[in-house]
Copies of this chain bind each other. A is one copy, B any other.
Amino acid sequence: MDNKKSEGQAAALPPSNERPTLKTIAFMTGLGITTVSRALKDAPDISAETKERVRLVARQIGYQPNRAGVRLRTGKTNVISLILSLEEEIMGLTSPMVIGISEILASTQYHLVVTPYRTQGNALDPVRYVLETGAADGVIISRTEPKDPRVALMMERNFPFATHGRTEMGFSHPYHDFDNERFAYEAVRRLVEMGRKRLILLQPPPYLTFYLHMRGGFERGVRDFGATAVPFNTVNLDNSLLDIREAAEGVFSGPDAPDGIVSGSGGGAVALIAALEANGLKLGQEIDMVSKEPHMFLQWLRPEVVTMREDIRLAGRELAKAVIARIEGIPPEELQTLSYPIPTE
């Protein structure tokens, strides 16, 4: 009769040797499941002593909340989705990005889910998927456009996200970006310092925001330092290295050939070098180049190239921190960071 008390939530079942749940802890401590739940989240209506006891037992038996249970009840997924193009990247930007994000998430409850999309035109699909199915608490996207429909959609739904790259949409959102304006500007400066005048830029595709930055920096440099921009628009960083090489061979062998190159990526630089050398040109002699350098390839195999590093792993870390902060309600204005070209010596 008196054991009514022990017939409550807590004592209903033996501990069992399965994965521990709140019920297990409730049984072990003699408390109710609700109490245990609230104790673990440090609720104000639980006594300090009880909290301590619950935490102790929880740690002891290695309790980890069941993600499906939490997710079903609260809608919180504890997932960050990285949205990736399957076509992306000649030269794995993805690796350091994934690693950087993982580094940050490792010390949180968040898991990283990679959500791919097939082609350029379908970039909105995975975002819609996440929004509609509630597959994640926050999203990281890259390849941003000045008016980015993905950003518009997530803003409208008030869904936490961070972008690798800026937009120009008249409101602020979390981002991390590399200062491509400065990169190109400094690149032009260096080339002019080396006596080069007729410059080409291997640039991003025109619809991406960082095209504007890189192009802008390039043109400002050309103006400020008194050089000439030679057109090179038939290919961009999204083309295959083979296409870039082919297009470059055309430019180098044509009239008014350039004598200076700014390459927006290390992979592209290799194609450009192959092209210019196929035309009998030599770096450091008839022509010079400034490029981003993902590894040590250019530095060691073509030391004549002036290289600057872009830290993608850092970008991953910053983006991860930004989405999480956004999820936690930090205002977007405080979650915008820029990184700068790192000179390689």
Chain A residues within 8 Å of B, Cβ to Cβ: 19, 62, 64, 66-69, 71-72, 77, 84, 86, 88-96, 98-99, 102-103, 106, 111-116, 118, 132-135, 241, 245, 267, 270-271, 273-274, 295-297, 300-302
The answer to whether B241 and A270 touch across the interface, beta carbons within 8 angstroms, is no
Q: In the bound complex, what is the Cα–Cα distance between A272 and B103 (angstroms)?
A: 30
- Find the B residue at minimum CB distance from A118: B106
> Which of B19, B112, B115, B297 meets A132, CB within 8 Å?
B19
The answer to whether A67 and B135 touch across the interface, beta carbons within 8 angstroms, is yes
The answer to whether B273 and A295 touch across the interface, beta carbons within 8 angstroms, is no
- Find the B residue at minimum CB distance from A274: B300
> Closest CB-CB distance, A22 to chain B, in whole Å?
14
Q: Which residues of chain B are near A72, meaning CB under 8 Å?
A: 66, 68-69, 72
Q: Which residues of chain B are near A66, meaning CB under 8 Å?
A: 72
> Closest CB-CB distance, A54 to chain B, in whole Å?
20
Q: In the bound complex, what is the Cα–Cα distance between A245 and B88 (angstroms)?
A: 31
The answer to whether B302 and A90 touch across the interface, beta carbons within 8 angstroms, is no
The answer to whether B99 and A116 touch across the interface, beta carbons within 8 angstroms, is yes
Since A103-B116, A111-B115 are in contact, a sample of 15 more A-B pairs with Cβ atoms closer than 8 Å, ordered by chain A residue number, is: A64-B132, A64-B133, A67-B133, A88-B99, A95-B95, A98-B98, A98-B114, A102-B116, A111-B113, A112-B114, A267-B295, A270-B295, A270-B296, A271-B296, A301-B302
